[in-house]
Amino acid sequence: MRMKTVSRSVVAAACGVMVVSALAAPAAHADERFGDTDITGVVVGGGDPVVLGTAPRTVTVEVTATDPAGLQEIDATLYHGSFSAQDATVASEAACGPTGAATTTCTLTFSLVPGTAPADDAQAGTWNVSAYAIAADGDAVFLDTAASFDVRRETLLTADAAPGKVRRGRIVTVTGDVRHAGWAAGAPVAAAAGQEVELQFRREGRSAYRTVKTVTTAADGTVRAAVRAFQDGSYRWSYAGTAGTAAAVSAADSVDVRLR
């Protein structure tokens, strides 16, 4: 059965647990444990960074809890910042419970809404999970930081190699555009200047790309590189990403090299 999320103090009181602080009103305090209830694992989004564009995205969090008496309720909250100074929070759609199993994994669902939570691009990077479990016998555990995970802005890359047909040994200019999801803007925005981007080449008939040059983005997010073309093949741009921006690879653009 799924139940609506309520504050830490209300849930605990309903189960006969005395607590000093509330999940909905963060304060500077340590984790709280009562009896033998425990949270043994928290996994966000399968363990991968959460990549967020400009549209809402659903994220799942698996919370594994144990108590010999069974679990009455399990829930969690996502937040950015420290536990005592959160600048963004996302509550689950509903809590899990009750169950008579001594160990259970609760799958919670959250909706990240760009422009709301996260409110702006400054909230990219590390987010945290606070979680609690209430047992059927009144024992409980409340963890301020049960897990941490990365929320990264989606990255979009383009590539254009010109001319598309060139004599062997002549210069091919490859340009591109690097943009990241603008959460407050509601649209992709230019990458900051100085971001490293690799130009990669794949010879026709082969599967692997190799890096031929590394450049940095201009103030408008564009990249540009000039290389000599000796073989037919395809060029693409590759961006490694940062703690707050996702890695990405552009679509490839091919070049036909002619002997004369």
**Predicted local distance difference test score (pLDDT) of residue 14:** 46
- Which part of the chain has CATH 2.60.40.730? 155-258
CA-wise closest residue to 22 among 72, 83, 112 = 83
Determine contact, residues 201/234, Cβ cutoff 8 Å. yes
Question: What pLDDT does 16 receive?
Answer: 53
Question: For 184, left (φ over 0), alpha (ψ -120 to 50), or beta?
Answer: alpha
pLDDT of residue 3: 36
Distant-in-sequence, close-in-space partners of 12: CB < 8 Å, separation ≥ 6:
18, 19, 134, 140, 142
CATH for 2-152 is: 2.60.40.2550
The CATH topology of domain 155-258 is Immunoglobulin-like (2.60.40)
pLDDT at residue 30, as a whole number? 84
Nearest residue to 129 via CA among 33, 31, 52, 6? 31
pLDDT for the residue numbered 259: 85
What per-residue confidence (pLDDT) applies to 204?
96
* pLDDT tens figures, 125-171: 999 999 999 999 999 999 999 999 999 999 999 999 999 999 999 99
What's residue 62's pLDDT?
A: 98
* Per-residue pLDDT, 228: 97
For CATH 2.60.40.2550, the residue range(s) in the chain are 2-152
> What pLDDT was estimated at residue 200?
98
For position 252, what pLDDT does the model report?
A: 98
pLDDT, residue 260, reads: 73
In order, the DSSP letters of 120-177 are: SGGG-EEEEEEEEEEETTS-EEEEEEEEEEEEEE-EEEEEEEE-SEEETT-EEEEEEE
Three-state DSSP at 53 gives: coil
| Residue carrying structure tokens 């989606």 | 154
Ranges of residues in the chain with a pLDDT under 50 are 1-7, 10-11, 14-15, 18-28
Q: What is the CA radius of gyration of the chain?
A: 25
DSSP state of 191: P
Return the pLDDT at 1: 33
